[in-house]
Amino acid sequence: MSDKKVHEVGEEITHDPLLQVKGFWQRFQKPVLGVVIAAAVVGGGLYYYKNSVVGPKEEKAADAIYKAQEYFSVDSLQKALDGDGIGSKGFVAVAKEYSGTKAGNLAGYYAGISYLRLGQFDKAVKYLKDFSTDAKQVQMMAYGALGDAYSEQKKVDDAVSAYKKAAEAFDKDEVNASEYLFRAALLSESNGKTADALKLYKEVKEKFPNTDKGFLADKYIYRLSIEPNELSVK
């Protein structure tokens, strides 16, 4: 993902493409949703689950999710979700049938990401908001994806909350944490909450000064601090 050109102070803020809420997911999507990271974590994780299995249900769940993961990895998302009719149950069925298992929980995450990529944001929210894991980087990605889904539904407050959780979940990943916190600031500003936005831009600058978003935050801080009456979103 590349940053949009920031308009100089004095231009109409409503023309700034960074602040247009509609299509937020399409403009800001990155390979940061955890497809690669989660695949690595999950691949090792499921191997561990199967070889340190607490019970038969865990092992069956790990077996059931395997084929769906393969479909997901090649962007065959509908088969990943619903199964292929010849053996793969799909993430939706695995999440339901093996609820309470680690693989079942993970299937819910994959289902949420799949629905997000398909543009079915209500279903993405349904699965992502219930997902929880001790793997902090994957949890960050899940919160971030939830924020994307909420923003597409124009549920700005929910999106901002999810993005802030994403930034807090694993702030050691400065690139992605700053990205999510910056999204929270952008949405706050686009929703007319300039005081909140300014606070968030400053937080990006303070916590992640050496990231792309840390550098970019300066322009937004200046705009809102120097001439807030003329340049803030109404």
Given a cut of 90, whether residue 58 has pLDDT beyond it is no
pLDDT value for 54:
53
So what's the architecture of 31-153 in CATH?
Alpha Horseshoe (1.25)
Distance CA 88, CA 101 (A): 18
Map tokens 């940053």 to a residue: 3
Q: Name the residue ranges covered by the structural domains of the chain.
A: 1-21+155-234, 31-153
Given a cut of 70, whether residue 159 has pLDDT beyond it is yes
pLDDT digits (tens, 9 = 90+) for 82-117: 999 888 899 999 999 999 899 999 999 999 999 999
Write down the mean pLDDT value for the chain.
81
pLDDT digits (tens, 9 = 90+) for 73-84: 999 999 999 999
* pLDDT band for position 60 (cuts 50, 70, 90): confident
Map tokens 């979103």 to a residue: 233
Mean pLDDT value across residues 188-210: 96
Count CA atoms closer than 13 A to 202's CA, side-chain side.
10
Question: Are 1-21+155-234 and 31-153 the same fold in CATH?
Answer: yes
Map tokens 């993902």 to a residue: 1
Mean pLDDT value across residues 205-224: 94
- Tokens describing residue 9: 């102070």
* Annotation: CATH topology of 1-21+155-234: 1.25.40
- Tokens describing residue 88: 């793969």
